């Protein structure tokens, strides 16, 4: 089925001017960028977005990292977009990511791992609604 998923190009990637290269890998995988904006996440944005990780030891650092520079938030559309995006991103830890994936190619470490992608249809809907108005999605 055609799905939509939420994606973030993280501060480690924007800092190294990799937005276009990441987008090319997403598009080459068959995903269409139907919404995209470059923003600076506030502390509140990062804490709300990553609320499920609140009790994890890395939460504080993660919030610092996600607010350390610009991010590009995106909505990707395509056949099985959620799974397809997770496949092209690769494993959270770049040391475990498959050859040719975004994280294997670009990520610096498990935290500065270049991209985020929704892990389920339910979370995709929540994450898209947090950052985008319906009118900003142009399929
Ligand atoms: P993401 O897929 O956006 O989801 C949670 C983020 O927390 C993850 O990518 C990493 O950026 C960050 N993170 C930092 N340390 C860890 C860790 N040990 N395990 C999982 N995620 C981590």
Check: CB of residue 99 under 8 Å from CB of residue 24: no
Report the distance separating Cα 137 and Cα 132, nearest Å.
8
Report the distance separating Cα 74 and Cα 37, nearest Å.
7
The answer to whether the complex's ipTM is over 0.90 is yes
On whether the pTM is more than 0.95, the answer is yes
Residue nearest to atom 10 of ligand 1 (CA): 111
Q: Does 110 sit in the ligand 1 pocket, CB within 6 Å?
A: yes
The DSSP bridge partners found for residue 37 are 73
Model confidence over 13-29: pLDDT tens digits? 999 999 999 999 999 99
Q: Measure the CA angle with vertex 58, ends 87 and 41; round to 5°.
A: 75
Q: Does 58 sit in the ligand 1 pocket, CB within 6 Å?
A: yes
């Amino acid at each position: 089925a055609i799905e939509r998923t939420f994606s973030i190009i993280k501060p480690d990637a924007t800092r190294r001017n990799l937005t276009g290269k990441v987008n090319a890998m997403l598009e080459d995988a068959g995903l269409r960028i139907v919404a995209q904006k470059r923003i600076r996440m506030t502390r509140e944005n990062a804490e709300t977005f990553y609320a499920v990780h609140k009790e994890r030891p890395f939460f504080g650092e993660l919030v610092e990292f996600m607010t350390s520079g610009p991010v590009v938030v995106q909505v990707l559309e395509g056949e099985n977009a959620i799974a397809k995006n997770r496949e092209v991103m690769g494993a959270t830890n770049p040391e475990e990511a498959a050859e040719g994936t975004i994280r294997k190619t670009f990520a610096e470490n498990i935290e500065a791992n270049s991209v985020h992608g929704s892990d389920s249809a339910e979370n995709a809907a929540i994450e898209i609604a947090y950052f985008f108005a319906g009118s900003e999605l142009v399929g």
